[in-house]
Structure 1
Amino acid sequence: MMDAKGEKRKRFMKVHVSNKENLKSCGFLLILHLMEEFNKEPNKAKLRSHFSEILHSIFFLGIIHEDSLTPEDILSEKTAKSIRNEFPEPFMKFNTHLPKRTPFSILLDIMQRKYGTKEKVMEELCSLMEKLKFPVPIDRPANKYQHYYTLESTVICVCSNSQHTDEYFGASLGCRGKKAKRIMINSSCLNTWHEYVSHAVMSFRHQEGDSLQFHESMQCQAYIRDLKINTYKETRPCSNCNKLFSLPDCTEKEYNPYGNCAETECLSKLLFNDQFMRENITIRSYKPEEINRLKASTKESLLKELASIPSLSNMNDLLFF
């Protein structure tokens, strides 16, 4: 008869195998879908850079997984060979270069470029998720197995300047596991997000806290996919987003780390693209010496995380894909 420790170990191994297989199956399905899209596209240059980036991001998340999944583990050998001929760079750099975004974030960018409007993007995303049949995302604070793997982002967010028609999309981090989240957040602070957003995230992660106060013309709305009816519904920002970006009407939830939420990415894009928003934002302690200190500390944390993963190579230079 199995004792309590044996039962616990059995459950752990079952979840461990499930996590590995979910990452492999999600990565494989997403790559196959994108290969179909790529082969149908008359002007392949439009998709080439995005697809290469998604491949690299999936392969990187695979290699930092506790099972150190290689591209050949995620793809069949035959499929890997075929894709490598078309896209050699992700295969060469998956364990030496950091991704700038998660796969779902890049997918969202592709969908916006293809379909344009918020309504159409969300409709097509739901259709694609139903087609791919990813495992149900688990992201509940009470669930100790919340690193259960699906590459789908739990939440997407759309923001804009009410004085213009341009919309900017963002996705929550579509990766599970504390280590993967920490790596992607630290990496994004150093190389991906707008400096104002990075400053806010880093200041709160170092328990100092310096909120961004946007101009009143900024509009921001997050959406979560209702899995029962497969449609996106409005959702309120969590309390961390209230602290970071002064977003009103927040919930009390704060179990995700600072920088995990979809608001981070879309507000970063807004700042990159909207001069008025950049010039009319309030930040209390945004000074060069403060930024340099926070970046140095963030870089140190990131290097420590990367050094703990034996399957990565030459990461001291922090090269980005």
Structure 2
Amino acid sequence: MATDRKKRQMPLGLVKIREFNKENLKTCGFQLICHVMQEFKKEQNKLRTYVNEILHSIFFLGIIHEDCLTPVDILNAQNASAEILRQEFPEPFGKYKSHLPKRTPFSILLDIMQLTFGTKENIMNELCSLMKRLKFPYPLDRPANKNQRYYTLESTVICVCSNSRCTSQEYFGASLGCRTEKAKSIMIYSSCLNTWHEYVSYAVMSFQHQTKGDSLQFHESMQCQAYIRDWKENTYKERQPCMNCTRLFSLPEGTEQEHYPYGNCAETECLSKLLINDQFMRENTEIRNYTTDKMDMLKDSTRKLLQEKLASIPSLSYINNDDLLWFNPNKGPS
């Protein structure tokens, strides 16, 4: 019996990695919440919706962590400000187990940065400055390494796209800031069903469910550039699209290796925003083999996969798999 117990024990090295990852998520989540609350004090009317959403997203990623981290764990319940936060924003505390987030914390942060600083150059400079102040650890050493510092909540890549016919408007996107397979899959499936423009969702789902997917062909006026943060120099540098994005969006062929599933990259989010907001781009984007019947079939398959992932997480016992709910930060307490 003692021998069996010994076999089941986790190796000390993995125990330390798991503990490191847990503390990383708690620390980075708390630091990010403190930052957005400071910004909220300056611009309450503008930022209330974003704070609601980012709190819920952080709490959700915490509860699906293997150690089931609650808002109390992340906020340090001994701190009186935690209860003040709960009173100011009751919805995230009440719905992090029952409602799915529409996007990751860093994606929401990126919207706050755009609202505050406006231009691409200012946003990237301020993001680098913020990451340095928050002292987030380097989130990625080798993409294929499973023993990573998974939970820094930082997206390693951001992307900016625009319509050159209307150069004043830029759209920003972030790669997924969650690096475990389960969390990443949940966010991709959830985004396909309830966040991204239907063309982008269709393309992502078709490549996930088919041997050969159906790509988008944007109008030639679409411009798209991704940037990765150079951690040592603390600056964003241009990055070529990976092969997944080349296939999905007919982008110029890139050289990056494929370590992530379709839908993970920052291009997905910013191109979705472009389609949602730009009528010309919607009307002049071609999507191969698209039909409403095929879209419905892909959604059904994706919903089933999402339900299976959620059902495997005991801490999400309040989520109703038959009627999935998404968190709406604009809705008042109910």
Q: Are the equivalent residues in 1 in contact too, given 2:164–2:222 (CA < 8 A)?
A: yes
Alignment of 1:210-289 (within 5 A): 210-289=214-293
Q: CA deviation at 1:314?
A: 2.8
Deviates more, 1:263-272 or 1:252-261: 252-261
Paired amino acid for 2:273: K
Change (3 A) 1:206 1:120: same
Q: Are the equivalent residues in 1 in contact too, given 2:159–2:227 (CA < 8 A)?
A: yes
Q: Are the equivalent residues in 2 in contact too, given 1:18–1:148 (CA < 8 A)?
A: no
Whether 1:65 aligns to 2:71 is no
Q: CA deviation at 1:311?
A: 0.9
Q: CA deviation at 1:252?
A: 4.2
1:205 to 208, 218, 229: 208
Whether 1:196 aligns to 2:199 is yes
Query: How many residues are treated as equivalent by the alignment?
Result: 315
SS in 2 for 1:169: strand
Paired amino acid for 2:220: E
2:133 to 126, 131, 134: 131
Query: Structure 2: 5+ residue runs without aligned partners?
Result: 1-6, 328-334
Paired amino acid for 2:174: A
Residue 331 of structure 2 corresponds to which residue in structure 1?
Answer: none
Q: After superposition, give the CA deviation of every residue in 1:82-105 in whole Å (9 maximum; x if it has no partner).
A: 100110100000000000010000
Query: Structure 1: 5+ residue runs without aligned partners?
Result: none
Over the residues paired in the alignment, what is the CA RMSD in angstroms?
1.5
Paired amino acid for 2:324: L
Distance 2:40 2:171 in 1: 24
Misfit runs of 4+, over 3 Å: 5-8
Q: Are the equivalent residues in 2 in contact too, given 1:147–1:177 (CA < 8 A)?
A: no
Distance 2:248 2:114 in 1: 26
Residue 84 of structure 1 corresponds to which residue in structure 2?
Answer: 86
Distance 2:128 2:114 in 1: 14
1:160 to 159, 162, 165: 162
Distance 1:318 1:256 in 2: 25
Distance 1:91 1:210 in 2: 39
Paired amino acid for 1:229: E
Identity of aligned residues (%): 70
Change (3 A) 1:177 1:314: same
Residue 28 of structure 1 corresponds to which residue in structure 2?
Answer: 30
Residue 75 of structure 1 corresponds to which residue in structure 2?
Answer: 75
Distance 1:62 1:287 in 2: 38
TM-score by length of 1: 0.95
